[in-house]
């Protein structure tokens, strides 16, 4: 099965940019007859949505670049390399990377997405014989639990006062505490089972012979702080450029804001906060502004795929969510179909599969919430399904198909210097295994 999945993906999965182009036309061709929209309306919806992810694209680019620059700081590299020497066999390496990545993603998805692949690369430099493709796939597979974790955008939004009322037009003025979503025992058991399952599956997928390895010298990031040649005379400008005082001053300012936000204002560890932490630590550990500028500049090349593809996915979101003269949108049509063909027990499953399908075209938790919440939450309540279960089903569906949607793999692939075809075959196996666990967990929760 593993060989079949790997061959299938390598043969049929195009590069992520081509995949985004194909999804654009699929969304357009399907939406026109189903929603009775004209080609002109589709073009307007697509063009109107293209720039809607600019802020998020900038955040994703910064979390990639700041995370990579931080990992290249000498002190961090030494720490990661020390941890990378712990596993003594390929199987142990795969298992450790999977667990570390999954736990980090559960704590914060932006942090986990970067740390997992950086750790995987460090192991590949230290341990001979480990399959590099599977190692990176294992690091990415942990991302499947992010939306059931502490940074899950849907459960956190549901717990925010007034947010459900806004999205449902005042139909449901309530809040759903995280005790009924993230920390519900059903969700925690599902997270635990999924982490155990992907750890075992990834370990068993390692080939007994013929592992694809990489020369460790090719995995060097070459982002280390450069050695500055001291000269007898320094200009005032050079003193500023290589002054650790300036690095520490701005880093402490960033750190102070994070402490105030999290410790005194009750803020959450969102993506912007993670970026500020990465930036602050990077400035401190690189020692001088110019050392960090050089490391940051070399890391920016990995953000090219994000910058190129996010506008296309924003355009696809515009096609799926916008209503034409008919008053229909593709998202609402699918949601209505799910509602009309559900029972209290099957409703969470259908909600989950709808979210999983929608994620292929709208790979955004916020996008899912905007499309599904106005319809799925009231309908679930009418069927007697707990609001927390409906929201969690949407969140799991959004996270599940990330295993085969290359959109979210872009940062990991950029750091690993691999293509989507190299890892998605293994992720497809994880998709099938975790799908069974998630579906079973949702059914048990609904009973």
In this predicted structure, the answer to whether residue 330 has a pLDDT above a threshold of 90 is no
Mean pLDDT highest for which of 73-77, 354-358, 380-384, 425-429?
425-429
In this predicted structure, the answer to whether residue 190 has a pLDDT above a threshold of 90 is yes
Residue 89: per-residue pLDDT? 93
pLDDT tens for 318-328 read 888 888 888 88
The predicted model gives 48-53 an average pLDDT of 86
The dihedral formed by the CA atoms of 218, 299, 112 and 161, expressed in degrees to the nearest 10: -170
Mean pLDDT of the chain: 86
Beta strands of 233-343 (E only): which ranges?
Answer: none
Residue 220: per-residue pLDDT? 66
Residue 306: per-residue pLDDT? 80
In this predicted structure, the answer to whether residue 284 has a pLDDT above a threshold of 50 is yes
The predicted model gives 378-393 an average pLDDT of 90
Listed in sequence order, the residues at least 6 apart from 178 whose beta carbon sits closer than 8 Å to its beta carbon are 155, 156, 159
Residue 233: per-residue pLDDT? 64
Q: Which of 186-190, 229-233, 251-255 has the lowest mean pLDDT?
A: 229-233
Distance separating alpha carbons of residues 385 and 438, to the nearest angstrom: 17
pLDDT tens for 198-250 read 999 999 999 888 788 876 666 765 444 444 444 456 788 888 888 889 999 99
Core vs surface per residue 317-354: b (16+ CB within 10 A) or e: bbbbbbebeeebbbbbebbeebbeebeeeebbbbbbbb
Residue 351: per-residue pLDDT? 92
CB-based contacts of 370-375 (< 8 A; 24+ apart in sequence): 370/167, 370/321, 371/320, 371/321, 371/329, 371/331, 371/332, 371/335, 372/331, 372/335, 373/164, 373/167, 373/168, 374/167, 374/168, 374/169, 374/171, 375/332, 375/335, 375/336, 375/339
- Name the percent of the chain lying above pLDDT 70: 94
Residue 166: per-residue pLDDT? 75
Distance separating alpha carbons of residues 113 and 103, to the nearest angstrom: 11
The predicted model gives 402-410 an average pLDDT of 85
In this predicted structure, the answer to whether residue 110 has a pLDDT above a threshold of 80 is no
Mean pLDDT highest for which of 61-65, 150-154, 180-184, 300-304?
180-184
In this predicted structure, the answer to whether residue 358 has a pLDDT above a threshold of 90 is no
């Amino acid at each position: 099965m593993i060989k079949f999945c790997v061959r299938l993906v390598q043969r049929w999965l195009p590069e992520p940019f081509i995949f985004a182009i194909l999804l654009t036309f699929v969304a357009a061709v399907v939406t026109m007859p189903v929603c009775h929209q004209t080609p002109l309306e589709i073009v307007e919806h697509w063009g109107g949505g293209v720039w809607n992810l600019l802020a998020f694209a900038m955040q994703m680019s910064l979390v990639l670049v700041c995370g990579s620059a931080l990992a290249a700081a000498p002190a961090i590299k030494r720490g990661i390399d020390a941890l990378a020497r712990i596993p003594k066999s390929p199987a142990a390496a795969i298992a450790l990377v999977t667990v570390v990545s999954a736990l980090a993603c559960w704590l914060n998805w932006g942090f986990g997405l970067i740390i997992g692949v950086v750790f995987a690369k460090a192991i590949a430099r230290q341990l001979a014989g480990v399959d590099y493709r599977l190692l990176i796939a294992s690091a990415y597979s942990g991302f499947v639990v992010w939306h059931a974790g502490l940074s899950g955008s849907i459960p956190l939004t549901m717990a925010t006062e007034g947010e459900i009322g806004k999205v449902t037009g005042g139909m449901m003025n309530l809040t759903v505490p995280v005790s009924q979503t993230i920390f519900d025992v059903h969700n925690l058991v599902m997270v635990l089972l999924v982490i155990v399952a992907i750890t075992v599956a990834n370990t068993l997928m390692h080939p007994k012979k013929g592992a694809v390895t990489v020369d460790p010298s090719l995995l060097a990031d070459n982002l280390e702080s450069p050695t500055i040649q001291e000269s007898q005379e320094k200009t005032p400008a050079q003193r500023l450029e290589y002054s650790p005082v300036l690095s520490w001053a701005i880093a402490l300012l960033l750190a102070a804001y994070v402490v105030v936000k999290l410790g005194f204002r009750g803020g959450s560890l969102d993506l912007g906060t993670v970026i500020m932490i990465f930036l602050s630590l990077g400035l401190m550990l690189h020692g001088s502004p110019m050392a960090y500028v050089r490391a940051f500049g070399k890391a920016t090349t990995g953000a090219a795929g994000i910058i190129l593809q996010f506008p296309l996915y924003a355009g696809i979101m515009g096609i799926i969510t916008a209503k034409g003269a008919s008053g229909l949108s593709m998202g609402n049509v699918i949601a209505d179909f799910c509602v009309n063909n559900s029972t209290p027990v099957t409703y969470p499953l259908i909600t989950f599969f709808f979210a999983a399908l929608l994620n292929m075209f709208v790979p955004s938790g916020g996008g899912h919430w905007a499309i599904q919440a106005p319809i799925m939450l009231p309908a679930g309540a009418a069927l007697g399904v707990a609001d927390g279960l409906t929201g969690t089903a949407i969140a799991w569906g959004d996270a599940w198909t990330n295993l085969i949607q290359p959109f979210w793999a872009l940062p990991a692939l950029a750091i690993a210097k691999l293509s989507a075809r190299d890892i998605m075959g293994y992720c497809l196996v994880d998709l099938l295994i975790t799908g069974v666990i998630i579906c079973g967990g949702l059914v048990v929760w609904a009973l």
